[in-house]
Chain A
Amino acid sequence: MFLRIEKGSSVAISRQIADQIATLCASGTMKPGEQLPSVRELARDLAVNQNTILRVYERLCGEGLLEMRHGQGTFATGRVSKTRTAAHRARLVDELRQIARQATGLGLTTDELHELLTEAVDSIPTAEALPAGRGQTS
C-alpha cells in the first residue's frame, strides 16, 4: 500500500491518510478482504505516530470501509462509506462552483463552459482501461 504524507499541509495528517485509504478502496486498488498493514508497520513506514494510525483505522472501521478482525488484523470490506461519499460530493460541488467563478472571470459564456465540461468528460477513458492506481501513488 503506497501512501504519501504531505508535511506542512493545511490538511491534517490523519485526514490525509484516511482520504487516501478511502480512495484506494473506492478505486478498487484495495480489493475487498485484502489485509492492511498493522498499525505498527504503517506507523513505522510513514514515520507517523501510532495513535494517529490507530484513530484512522478506527474511524474507517466506523464508516464501514475497514473491519478489524480480532487477532488477525485489519481488512478492507469493499463497502462504500455513505458519509464519506456525501462529503466527497459536497467538496466536488464546492470545487465546481470555484471553477464556474473563474470561468466567468475569464469571460466564458455558460454555453462555452458546458462545452468544455463535456469535452473533459469525453476525454476520460472507460473504467476498464484505467490503470490500477490513482494520482496520489508514490
Chain B
Amino acid sequence: MRTIWQSLLWKEWHEHKWKLVSITAILWGVATLAMLIEDKADKLGVAFGMVTLCIVPLSVFVGAGAASNERSRRTLPFLQAVPVPMGRVVAAKVLFGVITLTVPLLLAIALFYLRSSLFTGDGRILMTAGELKNSLTGNWYLDAIAFAFPLVLSLFIWTAATGVNRRDEVSAGAVALGAMTAWYLLMLFLSYLIFVLFDSAYGSNSPYAWLKQLGMSTAAGGFVWPFSDRNPQWVPILVGAVGMHAALLAWYSLRFGRVSGTENYSPPAARRVVGQLEWLPKPHKSPFAAIVWKQFRESGSLALAGLAGLAGIIAVSFFSSPTYFLQEPDHLAELILGVCATIGCSVAIVVGIGVCIRDVSPGLNSFWRSIPINVDLWFWVKFVTGMLVLLAAMWGPLLVALFALSSDPNRILSHSSYGALPLVQIAVFSAAVAATCLVRQAIYAAILSIAATYAGIIAAWGLWFLAARFGLAHAQTSLLSELTAAQVGVGMVLSFIACTIAAWLATRHDWGRKTPD
C-alpha cells in the first residue's frame, strides 16, 4: 500500500517528468548555442543571460500548469472527491513545479562548468574587479544560482497564485502576466510618488531608498532591481520578497481547488424571453468570411491582452527612471524595441497557441471536421489571420511610438539586430501553431515551440558551417565565432517554413496526439 504522500508525489512526477526533460533539453540547447557565440571560454555572462531569458517564460508556463491544469483537464472534480487535504496536493504541486524548473537550471550550470573545465582545468570562471565588487559570493556559479533560483521561484509562485483555478493554462498565464505587470506598475508608481512628495532627488542614495527597495522586492522577480542600486539594503529586500511570496504561496494553497467546477454542472434549459422578438441574423456570405470572423473573435482578445502586457512592461521600464528617459527619448525608443524583442516572442507563442488550441481539442476537432469545411482554406485563413493580428498588435503601436519619440527612427530600425525581430516573432508564432496542432496541449506546445525556434538557428548555423567547408561561404575563424544577424535571419526563415508546413500537414491529415474519444 502506498501512503498518501507516495501517491501524490507519484502522480505529480508522472505529470512533470516530460516537462523536466524538455526544459532540460531546451536549456542545454540554448546554453550550447550561447557558448558558441561567446568565444572566451572563461566568460559565460552572455550564455547565462540567454539561459535566464529562456527560463523566464518557462517558469510562467510551469506556474500556469500548476494553477490550472487540473481544471483544463477536467480532473478537478475527481481530485476534490478524493479524501485528501488539498494542502497536500498543493505541496506536491509546488514541490514538483520547483524541481521541474531548478533541476534543468542546475544541469545547464553544470554544462557551463564542464565546458570551462575543459578549457581552464579547474572550471573556475574569472570575474573582473567590478563584477567581484557586485558579487554576492565571489564564485560565478554560486552567483548564478543565487540570481536564477529566486527569480524562477518568484515567477512560478506569482503565476501559480494569481492564475489559480482559471479554466485553462492560457487564461491562467494571461491573468498572471496581467497581475504581475499591474503590481510592478503599482509599486513603481508608489515609489515615484514618495520621491515626488518627500524627496526631490529621485535616486538610490536618498533616505527613502529602502522604501522603494521594499516595494520593488515584492514584485515578481522584483528583487533583481534593488541590486542595481548602489547601496542595496538587505533587510527591506528580504522582508519584502519573503513576506510577499509567502503570502502568495498561502493564497495559492488556500484557494487551489476551492472552486465549484462548472465542468460537471449541466445548466437548466435557457428560456426564450417571452415577448422579445428574436431575429435570426443573415448567415455569413462565404466560408472565408465565416472563418475570418471566428478567428478575429478568438485571437483578437489574446493579442490585445499581449499588447496591454507589453504597454505595461514599457511603462514599468519608463517609471524605473522617468527623468532619464524624458531627457533621452532615443533611449526610450530603443527600450521599447528591446522589450518588444524579448516579450514579443512570448506574446507570439500565446497567440500561436490560441489560434488553434480550441480547434484541436477532441470535441471541437470532430465538430468542425464534420462540417463540409475545406481544410486548406480553414488552415490558411486561421494562420494568416492570426499572424496579421499578432503583427498588427505588436508593431502598429510600437512603430507609431518609435516615430513619435525618436529623432532618428531609421537609425534605430536599421540596427542589424532589430531587423530580424518580426521574422523571429512569426517564426515563433508558426512554431507555436505547429506544436499546438501536434501535441494539443498548451504547456507542452509552448515548451516545444521555443525548442523548434532554436532548432532553426542551429540548422542555419549548420548550413553556414557546411557552406564554409565547401568553400561557398566566407570561412569563419572558428566554431566559436559570433552568429551573424544573417544567420539568425536564415534560421528563422528555415524554422518558419518547416513549422508552417508541419502545421499545415498536421491540420490537413488530422495528425497529432489523440485522446481516445
| A–B direct contact (CB < 8 Å) | no
